[in-house]
Amino acid sequence: MDRMEESLQNNNPTAKAFTLTSAAWFALATSFGMIAAGYLIAPDFMANIEFIHFGRARPMHVNAVLFGFVTPGLLAAAFYFIPRLLRTELYSHKLGVFNAIFWNITVLSGMIGISFGYTQGREYAELPWPVDIMVVISFTLVVINLLLTVRNRVEPILYVSIWYGMAAVILTACTYCIGNVIWKPDTGALVGIPDAILLWFYGHNIFGLLLTPLALAAAYYVLPIETRSPLYSHTLSLIGFWSLIVVYTHIGTHHLLQVPVPTWLKTISIVDSIAMVIPVMVVLINLWLTVKGKLGAIHASIPAKFIFTGTIFYFFVNIQGSMMALPVVQRITHFNNWVVGHAHIGVFGFAGVTALGALYFILPRITNKPLYSKFLADLQYWLVLIGITGFAIVLTIVGLIQGNAWYNGETLYRTLPEIQPYYVLRASLGAFIMIGAYLGLYNIIRTLYFNRGAST
């Protein structure tokens, strides 16, 4: 290994800071999720503690997983692999570490704000205005650091992970401002239907143009290395990237198929939702052909195991998503737990699990020591896998019960007792995930700071 590579490998305080951020918020966010799940079983659970009643715990959970756990986890990986792929140093680690600290202050302010009742009340855009501004600053700092790194590159060709990573942060820095209507600080919203349309342009971009590309960037980087195989086709990967950019940017209206929005917008969103099969299958065929015949290698490696599992959930969530965008299917699946199931499969099963794999990939490389405990990481894998698969099954069943009851005009008081056992099951499965999150946090802190393992 030459000297530059060695220095690249040894010092990555930025990736370390984002790793710790992600692990800590994963633990906190699942704790908020458990509180919310508790309220759904027993609505007077923790009665009178206004700071965490359901209406506040839910957005705290959702914002903490999105902006505290998944995004920083995937960014930690990006801060590692982007400079490496470009054969250069990150433009500024000082800026990177500052960025991570500021990021934490931002998410924490958001949580405190929501728990005190300061919310803009629009899903995925709940954070109050000052925090919105802080989020924009955080993303802008990431963009500046990474763009200047790309400009200083030694390797002229941009590997597909760089395309995805850069697109994710640049697009989010822009769409966050638009979607949160930051030019209207008092409400953070437009009025009436245009607001719903704008919100879902933004909302879907958070999954499709932030989490998805960042996670795919990590998968395209880690899987070839962990299976010692070159990418099956770089051309195919670029086709996947460009088709995602063209198709995904305007499918937000599929969240509003039951709402009086213009039909042409609905039509675009439905057609493009089905067309999503193209970018998705292109990516998956490419990744799966890359690792073809290497299943053993995948399961011998903790990062590859997480990320390969992420690709399976990616397949699943997208096929499911394309079907949910059909109005006839959505008549049953809309406004109930089916969508919550889809949300967990996508944001957690795909993006979150990929983030965990990416963290386990970079950890030994940024600390130059083996992982503190492979056993704990493996245990976390199984806890998370059982938890999320269980979520998918349980929430889908509840969704079908609720959807059919509603469709057939049944009254609510008959349905509620029917779905109670499923809510208990969901909370039990949530416990698996939450325990996994705390074990992961412990393992990561030990690996980063208290690891006596021999240097590699």
Residues that bind ligand HEM (CB under 6 A): 30, 33-34, 36-37, 40, 58, 61-62, 65, 69-70, 123, 207, 211-212, 254-255, 273, 276, 280, 317-318, 321-322, 324-325, 330, 333-334, 339-340, 342-344, 346-348, 350-352, 427, 430, 433-434
Least gap, CB of 257 to another protein (angstroms): 14
CA pair distance 205, 176, nearest whole angstrom: 9
Where on the chain is the footprint of another protein (CB under 8 A)? 1, 5, 81, 84-85, 87, 155-161, 178, 190, 194, 197, 201, 220-221, 224-225, 227-235, 238, 242, 245-246, 249-250, 262, 265, 295-301, 305, 308-309, 312, 315-316, 319-320, 323, 328-329, 331-333, 385, 389, 392-393, 396, 400, 403
CB of 201 to ligand HEM, least distance (A): 13
CA dist 342 → 73, 327, 333 (Å): 21, 16, 10
Q: Residue 55 corresponds to which tokens in the numbers above?
A: 């209406």
Q: Which helix (H) or strand (E) holds 100?
A: helix 93-115
Alpha helices in 334-373 (DSSP H): 337-343, 353-367
Task: Burial-class residue 27 by CB neighbours within 10 Å (0-12, 13-18, 19+).
Answer: buried
- Pick 138 or 309: Cβ nearer another protein: 309
Judged by beta carbon, residue 100 or residue 347, the one nearer ligand HEM is 347
Q: In angstroms, give the least distance from the CB of 96 to another protein.
A: 19
Spatial neighbors of 326 by CB under 8 A, at least 6 apart, are 270
Residue 242, binding choice from another protein, ligand HEM, none, Cβ under 5 to 8 Å by partner class = another protein
Partner in contact with 280, chosen from ligand HEM, another protein, none, beta carbon below 5 to 8 Å by kind: ligand HEM
CB of 389 to ligand HEM, least distance (A): 13
Nearer to another protein (CB atom), residue 87 or residue 446: 87
C-beta atoms surrounding 254 within 10 Å: 24
Query: Cα(122)–Cα(180) distance, rounded to whole angstroms?
Result: 9
Q: What does 393 bind: another protein, ligand HEM, none (CB cut-off 5 to 8 Å by kind)?
A: another protein
Q: How far is the CB of 345 from ligand HEM (least distance, A)?
A: 8
Contact residues for 255 (Cβ-Cβ < 8 A; gap 6+): 200, 203, 204
Task: Give the nearest distance from C-beta 220 to another protein in angstroms.
Answer: 7
Q: What angle do CA 70, 71, 77 make, to 5 degrees?
A: 95
DSSP label at residue 454: P
Contact 41, 417 (CB under 8 A): no
| Cα 290 from Cα 292, distance rounded (Å) | 6
- What's 280's DSSP letter? H
- The nearer residue to ligand HEM, 412 or 454, going by C-beta atoms, is 412
Query: Closest separation between CB of residue 394 and ligand HEM, Å?
Result: 11
- The nearest distance, CB 250 to another protein, in angstroms, is 5
Residue whose CB is less far from another protein, 115 or 237: 237
What CA–CA distance (Å, rounded) separates 337 from 393?
A: 11
Sign of the Cα pseudo-torsion (385, 19, 161, 294, in order): negative
**DSSP-assigned letter for residue 325:** T
Q: CA-to-CA distance for 242 and 251, rounded, in angstroms?
A: 15
Nearer to ligand HEM, 241 or 350 (CB): 350
**Which lies closer to another protein via its Cβ, residue 104 or residue 273?**
273
Nearer to another protein, 9 or 109 (CB): 9
CB of 223 to ligand HEM, least distance (A): 18
Q: Which of the listed partners (ligand HEM, another protein, none) does 87 bind, with a CB threshold of 5 to 8 Å by partner kind? A: another protein
Minimum CB–partner distance for residue 70 and ligand HEM (Å): 5
- The CB-nearest residue to ligand HEM is 321
Which residue, 190 or 278, has its beta carbon nearer to another protein? Answer: 190
User: Which of ligand HEM, another protein, none sits in contact with 291, Cβ below 5 to 8 A by type?
Assistant: none
The listed partner (another protein, ligand HEM, none) that binds 91, CB under 5 to 8 Å by sort, is none
**Of the candidates 129, 22, 130, 14, the residue with the CA atom closest to the CA atom of residue 66:** 22
In whole angstroms, give the CA distance from residue 410 to residue 370: 57
Which one of another protein, ligand HEM, none interacts with residue 246, CB within 5 to 8 A by kind? another protein
In whole angstroms, give the CA distance from residue 146 to residue 247.
Answer: 25
Q: 236 vs 168, 242, 245, CA distance in Å? A: 19, 10, 14
